[in-house]
Structure 1
């Protein structure tokens, strides 16, 4: 008998509804001929789809959860109380504007400083993943039943598949030598990119994902999904936070060895 997800809490149900709202805005703009693209001060791109998705989500939160705070990539912070929604309207904007389907909306709820709910919706893939602390991690393809997510059982770096995300990230962070060393240690290295690499980790398809120059809205929704799938999610040094500008997600079995390999190579 196929394992079924537990009934969602009110918070998770609301997050999933926000994902439906986002998909209804973003997917029709994907591959559109009149997509408006601007460059932000940090030289990253933003499209009219990014801003429209975030605006709609923020309005829904302010209307239905007026006591909750908000942190969005495009519109910043509006903090109220001990609960805060952390939103990336389109993670993978560069993919989105180039017509690459690896993009999605990231929705997280932080309560008393801890992320309790995470939803990743990738409508161009026809896929969605979600988790709530204590309720497991789940995913489904369009038209299919939900399935429980579990990380791999790989125990050795020599057998591991690594997604390093971007050579430039590691180089600019001063970690190029550790990346090269790690790539020579693992079985396979690829740069799957953005939210998809972490979801592949949660599904047991990849064993290690790490990157730099990331913000809380890039990571918050991913962390509970990885953790509820049995993995470990920290910053590059092993601290359990999405606020430190880097990330290291593994199947858990490889986490200490990965941190050690990176730090050893960095100090060599």
Structure 2
């Protein structure tokens, strides 16, 4: 893997952070005494989520004291043009039920652009990462990795689609649109959370989409998809992870997918 001037040290740090978090999350995965609460927004949080985020924040405070940190479970800290965006456990519902499809997401935004992303899924034994100009990679470490590329599928009839739950699309008034898209595709599954997007980056899936997401859900994903040759936008076609929802494709299918799903404004109005 070639180094990326300006971000190679940050990428190494992201792997160190992921290594440390993995020791916390794997120790609590399927633990009989795991403590789970329902947050005010009705999503779940476990003691592992909070412990993992605290660990990342403490290490970033020591190694990147001038950087801002934005996480899921705690208020932002710091300020400046470098912002680490962290989701300690993406897929908490899977984590608390013993399903291995969950990951720690670590992303870096510099001057308003997502420049680095690392996705670590220890229960699957997988890790994916990218930094601007480096390409996208998968493996257990920086020294043991293979480069990833999106697929070359150019028609929906040959495409594999991964969507979130139908209830989430129904909630924004776009269930009919997403079902029509699914019918137009060769295959439709719901792999869930981060995994859908990593499968797009690997070329195993051609389209992934979700109608409602937070910033911490997306920042780490976007560089991996784009450095693999794909596109990552909001439903209204705006590039990047800042629109509150996501469409990721191999690039060849993107415009047609956006046209079929409609814009974010249309989604909220029905």
TM-score between both structures, scaled by the size of structure 1: 0.94
2:2 corresponds in structure 1 to: 6
1:33 corresponds in structure 2 to: 32
Matched residues, number: 263
1:259 corresponds in structure 2 to: 258
2:230 corresponds in structure 1 to: 231
| SS across alignment from 2:210 | strand
Per-residue deviation at 1:140? Answer: 1.2
Per-residue deviation at 1:7? Answer: 3.5
Per-residue deviation at 1:141? Answer: 5.0
Residues 35-184 of structure 1 aligned to structure 2 (within 5 Å) = 35-141=34-140, 145-184=144-183
User: How many angstroms apart in 2 are the aligned matches of 1:10 and 1:83?
Assistant: 14
Contact kept in structure 1, 2:235 and 2:262, CA below 8 Å = no
Per-residue deviation at 1:236? Answer: 1.0
2:205 corresponds in structure 1 to: 206
| SS across alignment from 2:115 | strand
Moved over 4 A (4+): 264-268
Per-residue deviation at 1:119? Answer: 0.2
Contact kept in structure 1, 2:197 and 2:248, CA below 8 Å = yes
| SS across alignment from 1:253 | coil
User: How many angstroms apart in 2 are the aligned matches of 1:243 and 1:174?
Assistant: 21
| SS across alignment from 1:76 | coil
User: How many angstroms apart in 2 are the aligned matches of 1:246 and 1:76?
Assistant: 21
In structure 2, runs of 5+ residues without a counterpart are: none
User: How many angstroms apart in 1 are the aligned matches of 2:213 and 2:234?
Assistant: 10
Deviations 1:165-208 (A, max 9, x none): 11111111111111111111111111110111111111100000
User: How many angstroms apart in 2 are the aligned matches of 1:98 and 1:252?
Assistant: 34
| SS across alignment from 2:240 | coil
| SS across alignment from 1:55 | helix
TM-score between both structures, scaled by the size of structure 2: 0.94
User: How many angstroms apart in 2 are the aligned matches of 1:33 and 1:57?
Assistant: 24
RMSD over equivalenced CA pairs, Å: 1.8
Deviations 1:94-137 (A, max 9, x none): 00000000001000010000011100000001110000000000
Contact kept in structure 1, 2:222 and 2:240, CA below 8 Å = no
Does 1:217 pair with 2:213?
Answer: no
1:194 corresponds in structure 2 to: 193
User: How many angstroms apart in 1 are the aligned matches of 2:133 and 2:192?
Assistant: 27
